[in-house]
Amino acid sequence: MLREVLGDEAAARRRARRDPNAAVVTEAYPESEYTLNPGAASAGGSAAGTLSVADLLQGLTGEERRQLGPARRLIEKVAGAGGGEGKGKGLRPVSVPLPAVVAARQERKAGYDAAAKEVSRWQPIVKANREVPTLRLVSGRSHVHQVTNTAALVAQHTPSADNALEAEVAALLQAAGVANSEAIEEAEEKMALKALSLEEAKERRDRLAKLRALLFYHEVKSRRLKAIKSKEYHRHLARAAKHKATKLAAAAAEGDGDVDAERAAAIEAEFQRAKERLTLRHRNSTRWARRALKRGQVQLDAGTKAALAEQLQLGEQLKRKIEGRKGKDNRSDDGSTSASDSEEDHSGNRSRGAGRVRSAALELLADGNIVDPDGENAPKKGLLALPFMKRAMERRRLAAKEEAEQLLRELDEQQLLRQRQDDD
The DSSP line for 63-128 is HHHHHHTHHHHHHHHHHT-TTSTT-S----PPPPPPPHHHHHHHHHHHHHHHHHHHHGGGHHHHHH
CB atoms within 10 A of CB 245: 19
Average pLDDT over the chain, rounded to whole?
70
Handedness of CA 292, 293, 296, 300 (dihedral sign): positive
**186 vs 85: which has the higher pLDDT:** 186
Asked if the model's pLDDT at residue 112 lies above 90, the reply is: yes
d(CA 404, CA 360): 9
Q: What is the pLDDT of residues 41-55, one digit of tens each?
A: 444 444 445 667 777
- Contact in structure between 241 and 268 (CB atoms under 8 Å): yes
Amino acid at position 296, single letter: G
d(CA 37, CA 46): 10
CB atoms within 10 A of CB 284: 15
- Contact in structure between 357 and 407 (CB atoms under 8 Å): yes
Q: Residue 150: phi, psi to the nearest 5?
A: -70, -35
Q: What is the pLDDT of residue 216?
A: 92
Q: What is the pLDDT of residue 419?
A: 66
- Contact in structure between 367 and 328 (CB atoms under 8 Å): no
Q: What is the pLDDT of residue 164?
A: 84
Q: What is the pLDDT of residue 349?
A: 53
**126 vs 378: which has the higher pLDDT:** 126
Asked if the model's pLDDT at residue 171 lies above 90, the reply is: no
Output b/e per residue, 134-161; b: 16+ Cβ within 10 A. Answer: eeeeeeeeeeeeeeeeeeeeeeeeebee
d(CA 166, CA 168): 5
Asked if the model's pLDDT at residue 360 lies above 50, the reply is: yes
